[in-house]
Amino acid sequence: MLSRAVRPSVRLAARGLSTGSQSRARVAVLGASGGIGQPLSLLLKNSPLVSRLSLYDIAHTPGVAADLSHIETRARVTGFLGAEQLDAALEGCEVVVIPAGVPRKPGMTRDDLFNTNATIVATLADACARICPGAMICVIANPPGVSGSPRWTSCAANAFVAELKGLDPARVNVPVVGGHAGKTIIPLISQCTPKVEFPADQLAALTGRIQEAGTEVVKAKAGAGSATLSMAYAGARFVFSVLDAMNGKEGVVECAFVRSEETECKYFSTPLLLGKNGIEKNLGLRNLSAFEEGLVAEAMGELKGSIKKGEDFAASFK
C-alpha cells in the first residue's frame, strides 16, 4: 500500500510544485473518463492548487468522480454526464483542460480522426466561451491542428536526454517547438538545461526518437493503446504551470502551440512566459543551431497544411 508518509506533499516528480498558501482554483476536465482524462484527473485531485474538480464526459463520470472523491485530498470532485450537464460542469471554472476525443481506430483515416476530434473540441470550446469566457483553456487532442500543448513531447525529450547522459530527468528541460506530429516536432537540444552535447549522428537519432515517441508507445503496447499515462502527466504539469502563473509566480515558461508571428506559420509552438492572465510574452525562437534551423524549415510545409485544415474547419463549424 501507499504509505501515508508520502501523502500529498505533492511535488510532481520533484518539479517544484509549490504547496504554499496560493489561491486554489476550480478546474474542469472535459473528457475525464478517457484514457488520458482519468489519470489526469487523479493528478489534479492530488494538487493543493485545485479547490474543485469538475469532471465531464459522455459516459462513466459519476463513477470516476466517486472513485476520486475517496482520495483524502482537499479538492472537491463532482461528475457531470452528457451534453445536458456540460454547462453546469463549466460554471465558475478558471481553468479548463480538454483531453476529449477518440483515438485513431483501424480503418480510420487522418481526415476522419481530425473531423471527429475537431468537432468534439470545437463544441466544448464553444461551451467554454458561453459559460466561462475568462477561463484558461488547455487542449490535449489528436491529430495535429487540434492540439494546443506539446508538453508531452518535452517530457519525453527530457527523459531521453537524461537517459543518454545519466542525468536526473526531473532536472532536465528541453524546449520543444513547432507542432505536434512527426517532423513538425522540433526539440531544441542546443538549449537544453543543463547544457548537453551529442555527436551529429547521435543527435539526429535522438531527434528522430523524440519525433516518433508516440509511435514508440503504440508499438510497445502492441495496438492496445497509445501514450495515455505520460500524456496525462504532461497535461497535469502544464496545468500546474498555468495555476502557478495565475497565483503570481514569476518566470513560469511553457511551450504551447498558439497564434504566432515568429515564423511564416500562423500558429507555432514556442516558449511562452505565462502570467496571471495567460500569455504575457511569446519568447520566440532564439539562438537556434544550424541543425535546428533545418528542422524548422523542413516542418513548414506540413504545419501550414495542418493549420489550413484547422482554419477551414473553424470557418465552417456551426
Active site residues: 180
Pairing mode, if any, of strands 25-30 and 95-98? Answer: parallel
Taking the CA of residue 3 as centre, how many other CA atoms within 13 Å lie in the half-sphere pointing to its CB? 3
Supply the DSSP string of 49-68, one letter for each residue.
TEEEEEEEESSSHHHHHHHH
Cell of 104: 485513431
- Vertex 260 angle, CA 282 and 302, to 5°: 130
**DSSP bridge pairs for 102:** none
What are the grid coordinates assigned to 43, written together?
493528478
d(CA 182, CA 213): 9
Beta bridge partners of 270: 256
SS3 225: coil
Phi-psi region of 227 (alpha: psi -120 to 50; beta: other; left: phi over 0): beta
